[in-house]
Chain A
Amino acid sequence: MHNKSLKQLSDALQQGKISSVELTRHFLDRIHQHNPDLNAFISVTDELALTQAKAADERLQAKTAGPLTGIPLAHKDIFCTKGVRTSCASKMLDSFIAPYNATVVEKLNDAGMVTLGKTNMDEFAMGSSNETSFYGPVKNPWDTERVPGGSSGGSAAAMAARLAPIATGTDTGGSIRQPSSLCNLTGLKPTYGRISRYGMIAFASSLDQAGPMANSAEDAAWLMNAMSGFDERDSTSVDRDVPDYTATLNDSLNGLTIGLPKEYFGAGLDPQVAQTVESAIKHYESLGATLKEITLPNTSLAIPTYYVVAPAECSSNLSRMDGVRFGHRAEDPKDLMDLYTRSRGEGFGDEVKRRIMIGTYALSAGYYDAYYLKAQQCRRLIRDDFLKAFEDVDVIMGPTAPSPAFRFGEKTDDPVAMYLEDLFTINTNLAGLPGVSIPAGFVNDLPVGLQIIGNYFDEARLLNVAHRYQQETDWHQRTPKAYL
């Protein structure tokens, strides 16, 4: 049951071959069996899940169910879920019970989906390995001595081990795509503004975007249909019609032009990963696509730009964690300043502190022009590179991550080395473009992802391009042996 697609599960539910309660119990049992080893979940919501499953079964019986009704899912612990701990993997929010639902959660609840629990992540989504979580690192089901990627590492590990049929993630600099690459998933970061950020705990507001983490492009399309759309409560949400993402999955790729940025295949890329990705790209020629070398000349500016913009925004967003209204509060503060500084000092982990300090510094008087303004100008240069490229090509392809999953501790002492893990994903966040990572093969038994980047609001085409490849390959169907 845990290896079936959303369509297969939906059909089984609609035809009464299985109830949502049975399906939910199946996944809850798997979570309780495997989570102690993987640490993929921070909270498992058995009671809520079974209540929602019973309600779904009633809708199914009453024939008022939608296509996703009764299907379980896991939410990254960055989405506020009413009455459930929403920790963002931080000690700061360890006791935070969200008083409302994020729009994404509300939409998926309305669709009749069943929340299995909240998945582990890097603290406040800051990290590329899931080693910064207050609740400890998540293990990669493909090799438990290695990281699952971050920051949506818990969702990625839960999916790879088949502890949930679908999961939500968020992507600020690659946090859906990079763990998807390291765990053999299809992870889509939509266009900025496509999915509401309301109730999604903010890290860097101009970059954050929610998206699906799935076993296939088809499954991702199903979730996108339910997640996407305008939200009055998010001032950055885009008021634009949502297409049926499943309707165009089988469109022909004849005449598709694929851009291959030369900057994505140079220094920093593992040669075996390069070979695997090139082989996957080559396959598209047999599907009728044409390959074209392109250049994105300002690619090297992406990481330095990101490490000004994201910390600047995070230093502002996280200022709301002050020990007064919610979250961790220091004991016996001697004055207001002591309350603020000790609550924040005790509540935040090292990586969060580093980024808050970098952001505070970059925004401080005397450095604003040199750092923040300059980064915003570089951001436009990066965006303009993409716009120029899309005059000649339909999609852009390259690697998702520079290497397969690395070992725990390998990069923890060097933040800059860790930051380079998002080398190929970060620039699409700066530009606000959509990107998807799909399974493309293995190197030393570890998954490798192919990244496909599209023009603004071109998610349907990305899923079509991904789906056609998955119709002819079985990389995405492979499961780690211990979790078959």
Chain B
Amino acid sequence: MSLEKSDIEKIAHLARLAIDEERIPDYARDLNNILNLVEQLSAANTEGVVPMAHPLDAYQRLREDTVTEVDQRDVFQAIAPKTEEGVYLVPKVIE
């Protein structure tokens, strides 16, 4: 397994990350080294082993279907980079 320049560009796109063109070879080298490390897992015999999603094998708690939070829009929008009339502003997505 070896990631090429195009693979790095694809992964960065999926991750919504802009990366500098000149840094791509560095990322490719580092990611390949990390994946080589991770490849050691393939030697482990995991046949029949149930994947462990939670260290305590806990399950999600249920709660009453009731409103517990108060409206904090103003508090949250006070730290937003760009808002107007109570909404978050993003570039136009519909022409």
Contact = CB atoms under 8 A, between A and B. Distances in A.
B18 interface: yes
B30 A301 contact: no
A235 B61 contact: yes
Contacts of A236: 54, 58
Main secondary structure of the interface of B (DSSP, over half): loop
Contacts of B54: 206, 236, 432
Interface string B3-24: 1000010011111111100010
A68 B80 CA distance: 36
A380 B8 contact: no
A456 B55 CA distance: 10
A327 B40 contact: no
A360 B14 contact: yes
B52 A335 contact: no
Nearest to A209: B55
A430 B35 CA distance: 19
Main secondary structure of the interface of A (DSSP, over half): helix
A193 interface: yes
A301 B44 contact: yes
B79 A345 contact: no
Contacts of A333: 90-91
Given A324-B81, A361-B11, A432-B56, A341 B30 contact: no
Interface of A: 95-97, 99, 192-193, 206, 232, 235-236, 238, 298, 300-301, 303-305, 307-308, 315, 319, 322-329, 333-342, 344-346, 348, 350, 353-354, 356-358, 360-362, 364, 370-371, 373-381, 383, 414-416, 419, 430-433, 456
Contact of B80 (A303, A324, A340, A350): A324
Contact of B60 (A96, A235, A308, A334): A235
A95 B79 CA distance: 8
B14 A364 contact: yes
A206 B11 contact: no
Nearest to B76: A99
B76 A353 contact: no
A430 B42 CA distance: 18
B84 to A, nearest CB: 13
Contacts of B42: 370, 374
Contact of A193 (B23, B44, B52, B58): B58
Contact of B8 (A298, A357, A374): A357
A351 B6 CA distance: 20
Interface of B: 3, 8, 11-19, 23, 27, 30-31, 33-35, 37-42, 44, 46, 49-56, 58, 60-61, 63, 72, 75-76, 78-82, 88, 90-93
A6 to B, nearest CB: 30
Given A324-B88, A353-B17, A377-B46, A415 B76 contact: no
A301 B40 contact: yes
Contacts of B37: 303-304, 307, 416, 419
B28 to A, nearest CB: 10
Contact of A327 (B50, B53, B72, B81): B81
A344 B49 contact: no
Contact of B88 (A206, A325, A334): A325
Nearest to A326: B79
B80 A357 contact: no
Given A325-B76, A360-B15, A432-B55, 7 more contacts: A303-B37, A324-B88, A333-B90, A341-B18, A344-B16, A377-B49, A416-B37
A380 B52 contact: yes
A358 B40 CA distance: 16
A334 B46 CA distance: 48
A376 B41 CA distance: 11
Contact of A380 (B27, B51, B92): B51
Contacts of B55: 192-193, 206, 383, 430-433
Given A235-B60, A361-B11, A377-B49, A344 B76 contact: no
Nearest to A456: B56
Of B38, B55, B82, which is in contact with the most chain A CB atoms at under 10 Å from its CB?
Answer: B55
Nearest to B39: A304
Given A236-B58, A308-B38, A377-B51, A354 B31 contact: yes
A335 B80 CA distance: 18
A326 B17 contact: no
B44 A378 contact: yes
B92 to A, nearest CB: 8
